[in-house]
């Protein structure tokens, strides 16, 4: 399976993602690589590191974060996404985290767009279980697939 998922059959026009689904699955795969090595610490909810904190700080408490390279790659990838794609990524996380339904997508995405800030990567990478939340968010919208080796970028 290539991991590139077609538009879900239950998807409504307002639920179409601006971020490529395989990019989300790529992020999920990288996060799972880190999770499987037990490198993630559980930071305080809504933790937003300051600019002076390293990318790895929220996850490295007590273990030296053996996967700093993977985390830096994810940080760069997320930072390089367009703002609407970053909004989708956070909205997918919230959708999955809060066990919402697909009918809640428009409201969640709207809320996310209103509070979007320049620290999306730090926010997401500091969140415990973010890969699971992203997976659940995609599933809620009707997408199915597996992590991929290389993301697809749309401009």
pLDDT means per 10 residues in the chain (155 residues)?
Answer: 45 67 93 65 41 45 59 93 96 94 94 89 93 95 76 54
Instruction: Of 4, 35, 10, give the one whose Cα is nearest residue 148.
Output: 4
Q: Which two tokens stand for residue 148?
A: 């991929």
Tell whether pTM > 0.75. Answer: no
Q: Which of 3, 21, 34 is nearest to 137 (CA)?
A: 21
Q: How far apart are CA 47 and CA 25, in angstroms?
A: 24
Predicted pLDDT of residue 39: 42
Domain containing 78: what range? 17-45+57-140
Q: Give, in degrees to the nearest 5, the angle at Cα 121 between 118 and 126.
A: 120
Residue 85: per-residue pLDDT = 96
Is residue 135 assigned to a domain?
Answer: yes
Could you tell me if residue 5 is inside a domain? no
For residue 64 the two structure tokens come to: 């030296």
pLDDT at residue 32, as a whole number: 86
Q: 113 in a domain, yes or no?
A: yes
Determine the pLDDT at residue 148.
64
DSSP 98: T
d(CA 4, CA 55): 28
What is the number of structural domains in the chain?
Answer: 1
* The residue count for the chain: 155
């Amino acid at each position: 399976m290539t991991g590139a998922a077609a538009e879900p059959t239950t998807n409504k026009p307002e639920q179409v993602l601006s971020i490529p689904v395989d990019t989300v699955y790529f992020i999920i795969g990288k996060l799972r690589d880190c999770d499987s090595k037990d490198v993630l610490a559980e930071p305080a909810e809504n933790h937003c590191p300051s600019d002076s904190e390293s990318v790895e700080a929220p996850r490295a408490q007590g273990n030296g974060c053996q996967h700093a390279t993977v985390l830096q790659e994810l940080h760069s990838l997320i930072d390089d996404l367009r703002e609407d794609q970053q909004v989708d990524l956070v909205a997918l996380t919230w959708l999955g985290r809060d066990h919402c339904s697909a009918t809640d997508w428009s409201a969640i995405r709207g809320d996310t767009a209103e509070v979007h800030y320049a620290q999306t990567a730090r926010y997401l990478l500091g969140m415990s279980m973010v890969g699971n939340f992203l997976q659940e968010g995609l599933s809620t919208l009707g997408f199915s697939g597996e992590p991929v080796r290389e993301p697809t970028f749309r401009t």
